[in-house]
Structure 1
């Protein structure tokens, strides 16, 4: 068990932080919603009622979809785009999907390479983009949850104001949906772009996300 924890400590640490933050968000959001309900002279919700509500679903999903979009775009952009001096970039001149030799696929695969890297054909083609494909599925799924949840919450507010509800299609074109969406997208794009550029000049000793402390600012695609 000790060895398992040590060898998987990064994933376990973030998994634990995720659970703690999600539970904290649920508790804080529940109290926030009930405070609003009291102020509007409406019935309060139990905790599990809130967790199963559209309010909680949209709050969670609007963050998830922006995170998965961030990683999806980062995966795809870093295939073709480079940033001189950044450890987050490939080396200059290696833009593109790279050769089979570089990617260790088909006849260049090693004994311990994944099976689908060796087969060739559709299996290798699919496996070659499997990470981006899964990120895309997660993004689309969480985006759909956000849109449906946001639609339900928005229509509930309209009904409380004695206004007619709108269709899901109309909600997708509404400012409420895009305000929720773009406030997350812009922060993700800023964070990733800032990290890629700041890592040219700044260091974190021992981290593979940083260049070695003594590496030149011009060194590109070098990890610490």
Structure 2
């Protein structure tokens, strides 16, 4: 089917996301119940674990770092360069590839904000970075909320007072959870930027043509 071919990348990535989330859910439940058993407490059901701080904190902790990586990548590649990388614009290119969208104000095939002009067009011009950063902020807030809930549950197991969200926000534990993911995202982005200078994957839009010289910038 043409529809499947046209959307196969999104379909495969969506299925992989759901499959790995399911794997995370069941393995996380097992780990959590083993911890409860060590404290002589009853195991929790799958439905209860699904909305627990233990599970949701881990989910949003990872989503947060991914959206940070993507938003930073979109914004930084608009202004910064890496000569020879397939992930960069050519630093010697005098003009931007994306011409002024105002020139397409009367193009019937242009997106509605482009045709509308003014603030809608300006916001639309940077909408990818804006939305990705907004998703980062939402994921960050949900990570904080559920990480605090997980910390409160852990404190209860040991008969300690549960910290509030503000107290948890200021804790080393919360920032350790965030930084351990953020550093890996920036590292992986830097690695693909540099490796795409010298290495190829034929057929991928993220790679330069196999016979392209290392000095060629852009895919």
TM-score (norm 2): 0.94
| Mapped contact 1:85–1:220 kept (Cα < 8 A) | yes
Please report the RMSD computed on the Cα atoms of aligned residues, expressed in angstroms: 1.7
Number of residue-to-residue matches in the alignment = 218
Question: Which deviations, in whole Å up to 9, do the C-alpha atoms of 1:163-200 show, x marking residues without a partner?
Answer: 22222112111011011111111111111100000000
Q: State the Cα distance separating 1:28 from its structure 2 match.
A: 0.7
Moved over 3 A (4+): 93-96, 108-111
Q: State the Cα distance separating 1:120 from its structure 2 match.
A: 2.2
Question: For structure 1, which segment, 156-165 or 58-67, has the greater mean C-alpha deviation from structure 2 after superposition?
Answer: 156-165
| Mapped contact 1:83–1:89 kept (Cα < 8 A) | yes
Question: Which deviations, in whole Å up to 9, do the C-alpha atoms of 1:140-164 show, x marking residues without a partner?
Answer: 1111111011111112222322222
3-state SS of 2:135 partner: helix
Aligned to 2:24: 25
TM-score (norm 1): 0.92
Asked if 1:76 is matched to 2:95, the reply is no
Structure 1 stretches lacking a partner, 5+ long:
none
The 5-angstrom pairing of residues 111-122 of structure 1 reads 111-122=108-119
Q: 2:196, 2:213 → 1: CA distance?
A: 11
Question: Which deviations, in whole Å up to 9, do the C-alpha atoms of 1:184-219 show, x marking residues without a partner?
Answer: 111111111000000000000111000000001010
Cα separation, partners in 2 of 1:73 and 1:161, compared to 1, 3 Å? same
Question: Which deviations, in whole Å up to 9, do the C-alpha atoms of 1:106-137 show, x marking residues without a partner?
Answer: 12464422122233211110100111111112
